């Protein structure tokens, strides 16, 4: 088996592989084709025996909570390993950086539009994921809410092939890892957040680290998220990738952040291509570059190969003088065993930078989500809430979620206060009695 068969040039080749799928289809034959993941629960999405290769991973949720994308953790295990080769917040794995979804099309990841609701999107991953002795994919809901909105619903497909024999020895295993530094520290406080200052970086020591890995393999892609809370053009930072323990200057030294992701100078509009994209550029409050930004680079034609180790880094501002919220996902292939991953921060350490009014409104939507879930699963409570009021509450929560996406947190708060008032006529609900996750 070789990975070349996953590209167009090899589509006509016949093999003995068997195509399979694991999905959330309703085993009763009815139409409840989703799963729920309760607060604190870990659900196994796929448990596959023998040799094979995952070829496509899809999921969608109807009106999920905005923090579901960071508070849910996706893990993948190959060949019965004890530690995961993939450990990434669910949204970031599919390029929804900082909990803000953008629809885009690329070769390895695609996010497609759903109907009506702002967060109703279809997420698709096309990285091939080979294995010899089995595969396990799981989701852990580390939030205080059911995953996937008030009804706690997630639909998924995982397509894969079963093979007669294990992959060739030169086939690596797929890995993905999430990191964050918030906020990055300026190496010169007197010149913090000054664009085009005249500082110098001659060792790369203060760079943001995207990946450190040991073994033999190659980097296949990166997602970089920059919440530009400092304002101004942040992207003078060069990428520097150190191969097999080399000293500065590295084998791969770039000329600026936008060059890594295929852009022209200082991109202030969103774009997405097969291999590169700035698929999220907020320009918040009418200010260029301010706010949340996400960008991807797939190293498909030009994988960054290493024989012993790799350290992929990027400057935060020229010579590391900008103080912003950086997070990232590295996607790579390597032979096992892999080095120990950095410990994934708890949910509070993964939440994006939000203003206080976000947290005030989010406490309400979290409490209402839990309350509506109890109404749905408890027949006695469901009988107390008239259908008209129940549907009205759901509509108000949908409007609140749309306001969250547009960062109109005070508008969201108004919708949620109204919804709490309606539910409170029938059942006790305290929208303030939820710990502040911020």
- pLDDT cut 70: percent of the chain above it: 95
Of the candidate ranges 5-14, 271-280, 337-346, the one whose mean pLDDT is the lowest: 5-14
Would you state the pLDDT for residue 438? 42
Would you state the pLDDT for residue 431? 67
Would you state the pLDDT for residue 432? 60
When pLDDT is cut at 50, 70 and 90, the band that residue 401 belongs to is confident
Of the candidate ranges 43-57, 198-212, 356-370, the one whose mean pLDDT is the lowest: 356-370
**For strand 86-89 and strand 173-181, is the pairing parallel, antiparallel, or unpaired?**
parallel
123 phi and psi angles, rounded to 5 deg: -105, 130
When pLDDT is cut at 50, 70 and 90, the band that residue 2 belongs to is very low
For 39-89, give the DSSP string.
Answer: TT-EEEEEEE-SSEEEEEEEEEESS--TTHHHHEEEEEEETT-SS-SEEEE
Would you state the pLDDT for residue 227? 97
When pLDDT is cut at 50, 70 and 90, the band that residue 8 belongs to is low
Interval 301-322 mean pLDDT: 97
Question: Is pLDDT at 163 greater than 90 in this prediction?
Answer: yes
CB 347 within 8 A of CB 142: yes
From the list 194, 178, 172, 140, the residue with the least C-alpha distance to 334 is 172
Question: Is pLDDT at 434 greater than 70 in this prediction?
Answer: no
Contact residues for 23 (Cβ-Cβ < 8 A; gap 6+) = 33, 155, 156, 157, 158
Better-predicted residue by pLDDT, 377 or 170: 170
Would you state the pLDDT for residue 313? 98
Q: Other C-beta atoms within 10 Å of 320: how many? A: 23
CA atoms within 13 A on the CB side of 262: 16
Q: Please tell me whether residue 145 adopts helix, strand or coil conformation.
A: coil
Q: What is the pTM of this model?
A: 0.93
**In the chain, where are the structural domains located?**
3-162, 173-334, 356-424
Would you state the pLDDT for residue 1? 41
Interval 258-285 mean pLDDT: 96
- Measured between its terminal Cα atoms, the distance across the chain in Å is 48
Q: Other C-beta atoms within 10 Å of 16: how many? A: 9
CATH fold for domain 173-334: Jelly Rolls (2.60.120)
Question: Is pLDDT at 143 greater than 50 in this prediction?
Answer: yes
Quick one: how many helices (H) and strands (E) in the chain?
A: 7, 22
Would you state the pLDDT for residue 150? 74
Question: Is pLDDT at 374 greater than 90 in this prediction?
Answer: no
Q: Which two tokens stand for residue 129?
A: 């994921």
Please state, in angstroms and rounded to a whole number, the distance separating the CA atoms of residues 244 and 242. 7
Biggest CA pair distance of the chain: 69
CB 347 within 8 A of CB 403: no
Please state, in angstroms and rounded to a whole number, the distance separating the CA atoms of residues 367 and 369. 5
Better-predicted residue by pLDDT, 6 or 98: 98
Contact residues for 323 (Cβ-Cβ < 8 A; gap 6+) = 183, 184, 185, 186, 192, 193, 229, 230, 316
When pLDDT is cut at 50, 70 and 90, the band that residue 3 belongs to is very low
CA distances from 149 to 69, 143, 218, 373, 411 (A): 12, 12, 37, 9, 19
Interval 71-90 mean pLDDT: 98
Q: Does CATH number 2.60.120.1390 belong to domain 3-162?
A: yes
From the list 217, 218, 176, the residue with the least C-alpha distance to 84 is 176
Interval 65-74 mean pLDDT: 95
The answer to whether 3-162 and 173-334 have equal CATH topology is yes
pLDDT tens column, 320-339: 999 999 999 999 999 999 99
pLDDT tens column, 81-107: 999 999 999 999 999 999 999 999 999
Question: Is pLDDT at 17 greater than 70 in this prediction?
Answer: yes
Please state, in angstroms and rounded to a whole number, the distance separating the CA atoms of residues 356 and 346. 20
| Mean pLDDT of the residues in the chain | 93
When pLDDT is cut at 50, 70 and 90, the band that residue 10 belongs to is confident
* E-strand stretches of 79-153: 86-89, 104-105, 109-113, 121-125, 129-131, 135-141
Please state, in angstroms and rounded to a whole number, the distance separating the CA atoms of residues 304 and 320. 23
Please state, in angstroms and rounded to a whole number, the distance separating the CA atoms of residues 232 and 290. 6
Would you state the pLDDT for residue 436? 43
CB 225 within 8 A of CB 98: yes
Taking the alpha carbons of 90, 280, 180, 107 in that order, is the dihedral positive or negative? positive
When pLDDT is cut at 50, 70 and 90, the band that residue 406 belongs to is confident
When pLDDT is cut at 50, 70 and 90, the band that residue 404 belongs to is confident
Q: Is 3 exposed, middle or buried, given 0-12, 13-18 or 19+ CB atoms closer than 10 A?
A: middle
Would you state the pLDDT for residue 5? 46
């Amino acid at each position: 088996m070789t990975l070349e068969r996953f590209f167009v040039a090899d589509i006509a080749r016949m093999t003995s592989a068997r195509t399979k799928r694991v999905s959330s289809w309703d085993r009763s034959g009815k139409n409840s084709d989703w799963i729920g993941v309760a607060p604190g629960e870990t659900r196994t999405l796929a448990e596959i025996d023998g040799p094979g290769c995952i070829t496509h991973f899809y999921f969608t949720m109807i009106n999920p909570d905005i923090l579901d994308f960071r508070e849910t953790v996706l893990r993948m295990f190959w060949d019965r390993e004890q530690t995961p080769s993939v450990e990434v917040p669910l949204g970031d794995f599919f390029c929804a950086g900082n909990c803000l979804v953008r629809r885009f099309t690329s070769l390895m990841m695609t996010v497609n539009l759903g109907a009506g609701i702002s967060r109703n999107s279809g997420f698709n991953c096309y990285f091939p994921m080979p294995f010899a002795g089995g595969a396990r994919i799981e989701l852990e809901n580390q939030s205080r809410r059911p995953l996937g909105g008030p009804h706690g619903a997630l639909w998924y497909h995982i397509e894969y092939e079963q093979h007669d024999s294990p992959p060739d020895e030169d086939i690596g295993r797929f890995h993905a890892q999430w990191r964050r530094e918030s906020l990055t520290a300026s190496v010169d406080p007197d010149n913090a957040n000054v664009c085009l200052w005249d500082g110098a970086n001659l060792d790369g020591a203060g760079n943001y680290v995207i990946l450190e890995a040991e073994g033999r393999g190659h980097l296949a892609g990166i997602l970089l998220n920059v919440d530009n809370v400092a304002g101004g053009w942040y992207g003078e930072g060069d990428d520097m990738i150190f191969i097999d323990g080399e000293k500065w200057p590295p084998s791969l030294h770039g000329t600026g952040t936008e060059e890594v992701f295929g852009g022209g100078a200082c991109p202030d509009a969103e774009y997405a291509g097969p291999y590169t994209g700035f698929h999220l550029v907020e320009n918040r409050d009418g200010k260029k570059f301010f706010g949340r930004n996400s960008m991807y680079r797939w190293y498909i034609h030009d994988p960054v190969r290493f024989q012993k180790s790799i350290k992929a880094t990027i400057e935060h501002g020229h010579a590391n003088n900008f103080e912003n919220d950086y997070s990232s996902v590295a996607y790579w292939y390597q032979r096992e065993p892999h080095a120990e991953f950095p410990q994934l921060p708890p949910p509070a350490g993964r939440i994006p930078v939000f203003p206080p009014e976000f947290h005030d409104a989010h406490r309400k939507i979290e409490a209402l989500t839990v309350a509506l879930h109890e109404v749905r699963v408890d027949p006695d409570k469901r009988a107390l809430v008239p259908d008209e009021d129940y549907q009205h509450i759901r509509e108000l929560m949908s409007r609140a979620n749309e306001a969250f996406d547009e960062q109109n947190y005070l508008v969201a708060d108004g919708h949620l206060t109204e919804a709490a008032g309606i539910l409170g006529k029938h059942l006790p609900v305290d929208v303030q009695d939820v710990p502040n996750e911020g």
